[in-house]
Amino acid sequence: MAAIRVLVVDDSVVIRKLLAETLSSDPEIEVVGSASDGRIALAKITQLNPDLLTLDIEMPVMNGLETLKEVRKSHPHLPVIMFSTLTERGAATTLDALSLGASDYVTKPTHTGGSDQAIASIRSELIPKIKALSSRPSSKLKTLPPPRPAVRIAAPANRRIEIVAIGTSTGGPNALGEVLPQIPKDFPVPIVVVQHMPPIFTRLLADRLAARSAISVEEGVAGVTLSGGHSWIAPGNFHMTVARAGVSWRLELNQNPPEHSCRPAVDVLFRSVAAVCRASVLGVVMTGMGSDGVLGAQQIREAGGQVIIQDEASSVVWGMPGLVCASGQADGVYPLDQLALEITRRVLQSRALNANSQSKAYATSEHPAK
């Protein structure tokens, strides 16, 4: 199999050298060139025909966003990974880049960690994304043990959906931007979301989604009581769970060890809603690399809940939903532009059926058969 051809674009000589050497140490990747600004990068894309581009945001002459706009005009399907700083400005600009068509992003290693830590960060974060976006999953994903066989416990008849739990990763910010704004304002149940992102990014993502959505969208806060017409996104570097609070549910946050190298993790959230809300859960797994969410989806279904997933064609990476599908845990597979409608339909239908059943039971008790 031919190596993945990568073009590195960054105005820092040190970063270009570090990326080139670290990426080239992987036998599946070939760094075919580098560029110090966007104009040079656009010329080299034509010359070198890379399979993927790593793109710095802050550059002279033509910055990352300007370069990305031009790349998308001439190469709409070329995978582009933004190289971002973990700052308020860096997070905001990264979200801008994702909305303009960037495939994914990684945060730059800090100067305080030294070169060894920077190399480790590139190997653990950037290389798997390069392979996933080039349809060549890492060897780690290839050797994942399969989930244990499903033991589906049938949901009680006409059980109402009382909570929606969504998990997503690579491609998730744009996917959430398609789904949450389509949820109606009077949506009767809460929505809890895990999007793999670091601190700052999750707050800014929630703010952007809130500005476009009829429902309220906020970053999760410990102790908040869940209610319909509201959505909460797990904050970066915290797992988010749902706990019983009398007749209601509340959010809880913790910094327990990462799962699947992620904190927040989808499995953590899904486990908690399966344990607390039982058959009243609708789980949704959307675009993302890796296996986070597979075991959590299984636990939702074993508790009697439902799980639906995004289809392969509309996913940036069909890792997470694909593995849920492969393990037999999906009750339905839908393209991105149909997910919000399906979520709304399932929730409203479950509640209408339940209300009709209660009405019939009441009528029978008031007027028993003679």
What are the pLDDT digits (tens) for 287-310?
999 999 999 999 999 999 999 999
* CA atoms of 308 and 334, how far apart (whole Å): 8
Per-residue pLDDT band for 138 (boundaries 50, 70, 90) equals very low
- Beta partners for residue 107, in sequence order: 84
Q: Is the pLDDT of residue 286 over 60?
A: yes
* CA atoms of 162 and 180, how far apart (whole Å): 17
Is CATH 3.40.50.2300 the right assignment for the domain spanning 4-142?
Answer: yes
- Could you tell me where the beta strands, DSSP code E, fall in 38-141? 52-56, 80-84, 104-107
pLDDT for res 87: 84
- Could you tell me where the beta strands, DSSP code E, fall in the chain? 4-9, 29-35, 52-56, 80-84, 104-107, 163-168, 191-195, 216-219, 230-233, 239-245, 248-254, 281-285, 306-310, 332-334
Weakest-pLDDT range from 43-57, 235-249, 344-358: 344-358
User: What average pLDDT score do residues 120-136 get?
Assistant: 90
Q: Name the one residue in this structure whose structure tokens are 């039982």.
A: 278
Structure letter (DSSP) for residue 183: S
- 292 a catalytic residue: yes
Q: Could you tell me how many residues make up the chain?
A: 370
For the chain, where do the domains classified as CATH 3.40.50.180 start and end? 163-356
- Residues 243/252, Cβ–Cβ less than 8 Å: yes
Higher pLDDT, 363 or 127: 127
Instruction: Report the run of H or E that residue 250 belongs to, with start and end.
Output: strand 248-254
* CA atoms of 267 and 317, how far apart (whole Å): 18
Per-residue pLDDT band for 230 (boundaries 50, 70, 90) equals very high
**Which CATH number is correct for 163-356, 3.40.50.970, 2.60.40.10, 3.40.50.180, 3.40.50.300?**
3.40.50.180
Give me 149's structure tokens.
């066989």
pLDDT for res 116: 85
- 169 a catalytic residue: yes
User: What average pLDDT score do residues 208-235 get?
Assistant: 98
Active-site hit among 51, 196, 239, 315: 196
* CA atoms of 306 and 369, how far apart (whole Å): 35
| Residue 160 burial (CB count, 10 A) | 19
Active-site hit among 292, 311, 315, 327: 292
Q: Is the pLDDT of residue 112 over 80?
A: no
Q: Name the one residue in this structure whose structure tokens are 């656009």.
A: 42
Q: Is the pLDDT of residue 361 over 60?
A: no
Q: What is the pTM of this model?
A: 0.90
Cα angle: 119, vertex 125, 129; to 5 degrees: 125
Write down the H helix ranges in 34-146. Answer: 38-48, 64-74, 88-99, 114-121, 127-133, 139-142
131 backbone dihedrals φ, ψ, rounded to 5°:
-70, -40
Paired sense of beta strands 239-245 and 248-254, if any: antiparallel
Query: Mean pLDDT, the chain, as a whole number?
Result: 90
Active-site hit among 103, 169, 280, 327: 169
Give me 72's structure tokens.
């998308």
Per-residue pLDDT band for 108 (boundaries 50, 70, 90) equals confident
* Residue type present at position 58: E
* CA atoms of 96 and 79, how far apart (whole Å): 16
Q: Is the pLDDT of residue 131 over 90?
A: yes
- Residues 137/256, Cβ–Cβ less than 8 Å: no
Higher pLDDT, 63 or 363: 63
